[in-house]
Structure 1
Amino acid sequence: MATKKAAATRERLSSRTGSPGTGSRGAANQRADALRNRAKILAGAVTAIRKNPDASVADIAAEAGVGRQTLYGHFRTRPELIDAALLESLERAEDVLSEISLDGDARDAFQRLVASSWVFVDQSRAVLAAAQKELSPGRIRELHEKAEARMRGLLERGQAEGAFRSDLPVSWLLTTTHVVLNGAAEEVRTGKLDPDDAPWFIDAILLPAFTHDAHSEQGR
């Protein structure tokens, strides 16, 4: 009797939940759908903000092709969404920049790093501008820590080896690099500069400025 009751119970459960394994497959499909929606929302955020820096949550949802309810299921607020979009942009950049060799002559390494860095500055510029309105300065610095540490380490090594001028603090060299990279991105955005020429223009400004004292200080 117990066996018959157990079999009947299993049959009832099976009719409600499907065959064994169906529940786990359904959960996996839901997770996959959620991941796809999240990726669509983040991509939509970048595109919408490029078009309009003040793009609303509704604008972003429309750009992503999802409903606002779906968007809010992933991100409760616009600042939270902007934070995630900037983080993803920086993580993509990190995947590429971490593979760049910084060995050898510091000036050559600097050129290699700048050639790749400016592209990501261009891609994330609009999101960063939105983030500066929504997030705290501390959070933005935190998100940029890896990229800044890489550039800072290279500049410090260059100063120690005499490749870069040492009469200016590394913090100023970092700031100058940031300004020039963003300037190049803006010139490309407005059609005043060809993207393929941007690295050359950046080097033409930064390298002479950073290496000025490599020769002049010897005569002091």
Structure 2
Amino acid sequence: MTSAPNRRADAQRSRASILDAAVQLLDADPTASVGSIAGAAGVTRQTVYAHFPSREHLLAAVLDHLTEETVAAMDAADLDTGPAADALVRLLDAARRTSGRYPVLLRELGSLPVDPHADSRRHAPVAERLERIIRRGQESGEFGDELPLDWLVAVTIKLGHTAAEEADAGRMSGDEAAKALNLSLFRVLGASRA
């Protein structure tokens, strides 16, 4: 008889395999079926549906998974050292590198209806890191303090999305969008090095 901890560990491994397979398959083909994802994950369709009751639930979990990956990349960028402006650039670069690995998938996920509560929850860890950097920059005098911190965090997130959308639409290259994003943010933040 299998113990409860072993069943939980098996379920966690199955869930991780499903998410990994979904990321890979959906980035190659956004219309990949749940059956294809199950096959790539080495599980049955029933197992996929046991973890994710619908395709929409699976897609939401994939987006959460990619967000976790992005936050891990941000944390690896050593955000608490050096000038705040440099830390902000490292955070943005980490986010861009992570999202750049899944352009088709993120474009598809971006076209889905957004639940504002889920979107806010998903952005919370990113917002926390941005708030920490911006506050540090304001305290050191690198960034202006004329605008509320929450406003600056929200604007940073929106400008980041806008830069990605411009690059995805082909109106700017990735490098042009990154440069425009950095310049725009430094101006909004009242950075001494804008």
State the TM-score, normalizing by the size of structure 2. 0.72
Is the 1:83–1:131 Cα contact (8 Å) retained in structure 2? no
Q: 2:65 aligned to 81, 84, 88, which one?
A: 88
Match of 1:118 in 2: 96
2:61 aligned with 1:61: no
In structure 2, what is the equivalent of residue 145 of structure 1?
124
Gaps of 5+ in 2: 1-8
The residue type equivalent to 2:20 in the other structure is: A
Residue 162 of structure 2: SS of its match in structure 1? helix
**What is the one-letter code of the residue matched to 2:153?**
L
Equivalenced residues, count: 176
Distance 1:37 1:104, change over 3 A: closer
Cross-structure match for 2:112: 130
Give the number of the structure whose alpha-carbon radius of gyration is greater: 1
Indicate the SS of the match to 2:172.
Answer: coil
Q: CA RMSD in A?
A: 3.2
CA distance in 2, matches of 1:71, 1:174: 36
Q: Distance in 2 between matches of 1:31 and 1:195?
A: 36
Q: Distance in 2 between matches of 1:61 and 1:88?
A: 17
Give structure 1 stretches of 5+ with no counterpart: 1-27, 50-54, 216-220
Question: Normalized per residue, which structure has more helix?
Answer: 1
Cα deviation for residue 110 of structure 1 reads 1.3
Q: Give the CA deviation at 1:48.
A: 4.8
Give the Cα separation in 1 of the matches to 2:21 and 2:108: 18
Do 2:19 and 2:65's aligned partners in 1 also have CA atoms closer than 8 Å? Answer: no
Identity, % of aligned pairs?
23
Using structure 1 for the length normalisation, give the TM-score: 0.65
Instruction: Tell whether the 8 Å contact from 2:138 to 2:145 is kept in structure 1 after alignment.
Output: yes
The 3 A distance-change label for structure 1 pair 181 and 39 is same
SS in 2 for 1:80: helix
Residues 44, 60 of structure 1: 8 Å contact kept: no
For 1:1-220, list aligned pairs within 5 A: 36-45=17-26, 48-49=29-30, 59-61=32-34, 64=37, 66=39, 69=46, 71-102=48-79, 103-120=81-98, 123=102, 124=106, 126-130=108-112, 132=114, 136-211=115-190
